[in-house]
Amino acid sequence: MKELKENIIQRLKTNFADAVAGSEFSYNRVDVHVKKETIPSILFYLKEEMGYVHLSHISCVDWLEEGEFELVFIVWSPVDKVKVFVKTRLDRENPVLENIDMIWRQANTYEREFREMFGIQFTGLVAPDEFILEDWQGPPPFRRDFDTAEYAKKTFWNRPGREDAQDVRETISGRDGEEIPDFAKKYSR
């Protein structure tokens, strides 16, 4: 497996000058970091030339303190049985990346979610603006600097009659002759 992983890294470094191998995690995982401009071509190469035909997942990490987002594309080869994690960083103030749904159609779903939840724009993405959130007027809610409690306080109102709302667990535990079920005890105060 070690020789196979070294071969994968070498092929990627040979064909993509900005490819940098990442840390070694497990016996069947390879990490590679590239500039955002390289993402479409390296993913296409992995699929068409190296047999990484399955896009397993795309994730987004908000590195708030560093002013960047990191996108991680996880691809899999059923022949090699190796996962390749292709990582890139985007400027948090102007997060733009080229659309890759022409390589894997399911990438469209991830890109729509990242656009709506993080504010990342994908050039060439053809999709309606709304995906999960209907009529959302606030900032992207998955960004780490989004204050959920403050947003809810400003956006939603307190319903009349809820001023004395009690914790349901208190009501349940106060019933005569009834005990809190074992599964609920860890949530009791």
Degrees, nearest 5: CA angle 151-153-158: 140
Within a 13 Å sphere around the CA of 83, how many CA atoms are in the beta-carbon half? 15
Domain count, the chain: 1
Is the pTM value of this prediction over 0.85? no
Q: What is the pLDDT of residues 48-105, one digit of tens each?
A: 999 999 999 999 999 999 999 999 999 999 999 999 999 999 999 999 999 999 999 9
Query: Contact 64/145 with Cβ under 8 angstroms?
Result: yes
pLDDT exceeds cutoff 90 at 158: no
* Segment 37-46 mean pLDDT: 97
34: domain range? Answer: 2-185
Instruction: Share the mean pLDDT of the chain.
Output: 87
The CATH number covering residue 68 comes to 3.30.460.80
